[in-house]
Amino acid sequence: MKLISCACCLLFLVPAVAQDSSAASKISISGFLDVYYQHDFNTPATKERPSFLYNHKQHAAFAVNLALLRVAYQDKKLKATIGLMTGDYAQYNLAAEPRLLQHVYEANIGYHFSDKISMEAGILPSHLGLENAISKDCWNLSRSLLAENSPYFETGLRMNYAPGEKWQFSLLVLNGWQNIKETNTSKAIGTQVQFKPDDTWLFNSSGFAGNERTDSIAQAIRYFHNFYVTCAVSDKLKTALLADVGTENKKTWWGTAFLLHYKAAAKFATGLRFEYYKDRKGVIVTSYPPGEAAFTGISCNADYTPSSQLSFRAEARWLRAALPVFEKNGDLKNTNFCLLGSIAVSF
| Helix segments in the chain, DSSP class H | 2-17, 21-24, 88-93, 145-148
The domain total for the chain is: 1
> Would you place residue 214 in the very low, low, confident or very high pLDDT band (cuts 50, 70, 90)?
confident
Give me the CATH number covering residue 22. Answer: 2.40.160.10
Query: What letter does residue 143 receive in the DSSP assignment?
Result: P
> Would you place residue 337 in the very low, low, confident or very high pLDDT band (cuts 50, 70, 90)?
very high
- What is the predicted pLDDT for the residue at 180? 95
Distance CA 107, CA 120 (A): 10
For residue 23, pLDDT beyond 90 = no
For residue 79, pLDDT beyond 60 = yes
Kindly state the average pLDDT of the residues 123-133: 97
For residue 179, pLDDT beyond 90 = yes
Number of Cβ within 10 Å of residue 305's Cβ equals: 17
- What is the predicted pLDDT for the residue at 11? 47
> Would you place residue 21 in the very low, low, confident or very high pLDDT band (cuts 50, 70, 90)?
low
- What is the predicted pLDDT for the residue at 216? 67
For residue 12, pLDDT beyond 70 = no
Kindly state the average pLDDT of the residues 62-67: 98
> Would you place residue 112 in the very low, low, confident or very high pLDDT band (cuts 50, 70, 90)?
very high
Does 262 or 218 have the greater pLDDT score?
Answer: 262
> SS3 for 5?
helix
Question: Is the C-alpha dihedral spanning 279, 283, 284, 287 positive or negative?
Answer: positive
CB 279 within 8 A of CB 293: yes
CA angle, 228 as apex, 247 and 240 as ends, to 5°? Answer: 135
Strands (E), 162-214: 167-174, 188-195, 201-211
Q: Which residues contact 271 (CB under 8 A, 6 or more apart)?
A: 139, 140, 141, 259, 260, 261, 262, 299, 300, 301, 303
> SS3 for 250?
coil
For residue 185, pLDDT beyond 60 = yes
Give 41's Cβ-side CA count (13 Å radius): 11
Distance CA 233, CA 251 (A): 37
Q: Closest Cα to residue 50, out of 292, 326, 257, 332?
A: 326
For residue 285, pLDDT beyond 50 = yes
Find how far residue 144's CA is from the centre of its chain. 10
> Would you place residue 280 in the very low, low, confident or very high pLDDT band (cuts 50, 70, 90)?
very high
Strands (E), the chain: 27-40, 62-74, 78-86, 104-112, 117-125, 153-161, 167-174, 188-195, 201-211, 221-232, 237-248, 251-262, 268-278, 294-307, 310-321, 326-328, 331-333, 335-346
Report the chain's mean pLDDT, rounded to a whole number: 92
Strand partners, 111: 78, 119
Question: Is the C-alpha dihedral spanning 199, 200, 202, 203 positive or negative?
Answer: negative
Residue-range definition of the domain harbouring residue 311:
2-346
CB 338 within 8 A of CB 53: no
Does 330 or 66 have the greater pLDDT score?
Answer: 66
